Chains A and B, each alone.
Chain A
């Protein structure tokens, strides 16, 4: 394919991936990497490298909007970033050594998990955290605006389990070049029992820092090709910024259901291709 046509098509595809990623809250990486490998026949390592770049761009680009609402907790984020960045360096180290076929299978499993998670996201479990002295000692207890002019305070529970899960999220991010926002929200929302809005906004901050930890290793290993990273980064960034704006005004339940089936199918295809060595 000629370069101009390839770049235009990849830009368009990345734009759609970023748009869908923002609308469904799953991030652009989950559709971007299958799109690049299965449709554009890009080597998985290049796809992972380009995706990682787009992850840093979207996370940082959306940060100002999240900050304004006052939900994110900078201390919880920074504390857990110790785990995610160490995990990300470890994951990136593994990515350079694991065969592409195995990477494809792991990616497929992650897609199936994301599909399952996005379907069960509606049932929001409101569990009250039990008093934990470490929440105050680590200065993680805080409050957020409750929407009626007051503030709702919260504490953080099961910090060591959350920390361990965050190491896993970081490893996954470094291994597959994704934000692994779903795992980060799971660790904060379900394990540490942090309010959902605080979890999602704090997770957005953490995604960029986590991805930056593996970027040096990706660059050093040649995973990030300038010709591919250019349309992918700008496409996903533009798509996700538009998606974040549209999100406020749209009902996304149907879209999320369709999207869940799409990534389920992509996940199965990635596993089959990895198994047959076609990636």
Chain B
């Protein structure tokens, strides 16, 4: 189960290579792409979680005794098209703004993975999948900036 796949063998179209470091020509293939993507996602989540934790602890410390009520929905939209307000909040040390920054980092993590896939498929000269990942990226950015 935990067997390390030989990077050179991950895709049937890639020719078999002897064990050890793969030759430079086939240095970039699907297995390498997967490995980098996995690491990218892990680092992004770790970073986002740390920021959320820091902001969350501040939030609880400043409002520890206050009563909370989430029964009714009061929309407090985050205007992604106007990042200045969020930046002002972070600069002022506003705990809620720091948690929101962490959440934005978290959302950016899978988007970063798709952006990386565009580059990786381009390096593999796979034009079909460059187009496919660009489409996914466009939908993600539309969702992000259109904001409802």
Contacts and interface: CB of A to CB of B under 8 A. Distances in A.
Interface of A: 1-4, 6-7, 40-43, 45-46, 53, 56-57, 59-61, 63-70, 72, 74-75, 78-79, 81-82, 85-86, 88-89, 92-93, 96, 100, 138-139, 141-143, 145, 147, 149, 151, 153, 205, 208-209, 211-222, 224-231, 233-234, 237, 248
B76 A233 contact: no
Contacts of A139: 126, 128-129
11 contacts: A64-B38, A67-B37, A78-B129, A81-B136, A85-B136, A92-B148, A142-B11, A219-B100, A226-B59, A230-B53, A234-B56
B140 A213 contact: yes
A88 B148 CA distance: 12
A62 to B, nearest CB: 9
Nearest to A70: B5
A69 B2 contact: yes
B132 A222 contact: no
B125 interface: no
Given A70-B10, A212-B140, A220-B147, A3 B64 contact: yes
A43 B12 contact: no
Given A3-B63, A139-B129, A145-B5, A66 B55 contact: no
B45 A237 contact: yes
A184 to B, nearest CB: 15
Given A145-B3, A217-B146, A222-B75, A2 B59 contact: no
Given A43-B72, A60-B41, A208-B110, A82 B135 contact: yes
Contacts of A93: 148
Interface in B49-67: 49, 52-53, 55-56, 59-60, 63-67
Given A85-B143, A209-B114, A74 B148 contact: no
Contacts, number: 236
A167 to B, nearest CB: 12
B49 A237 contact: yes
Interface in B69-126: 70-80, 95-96, 99-100, 103-104, 106-107, 109-111, 113-114, 117, 126
State the 3 A-B residue pairs at the shortest beta-carbon distance, nearest first.
A220-B147, A230-B56, A67-B38
A79 B132 contact: yes
A56 B80 CA distance: 19
A69 B1 contact: yes
Contact of A209 (B67, B78, B129, B140): B140
A43 B113 contact: no
B117 A2 contact: no
B106 A53 contact: yes
B99 A226 contact: yes
A42 B2 CA distance: 41
A113 to B, nearest CB: 26
B106 to A, nearest CB: 5
A196 to B, nearest CB: 14
A229 B52 contact: yes
Contact of B70 (A46, A67, A78): A46
A64 B49 contact: no
A208 B107 CA distance: 9
Contacts of A227: 59, 63, 68, 96, 99
Contact of A234 (B53, B76, B147): B53
Which of A88, A142, A205, A212 has most chain B Cβ within 10 Å? A212
B114 A214 contact: no
B45 A60 contact: yes
A42 B72 CA distance: 8
A43 to B, nearest CB: 4
B70 to A, nearest CB: 4
A216 B143 contact: yes
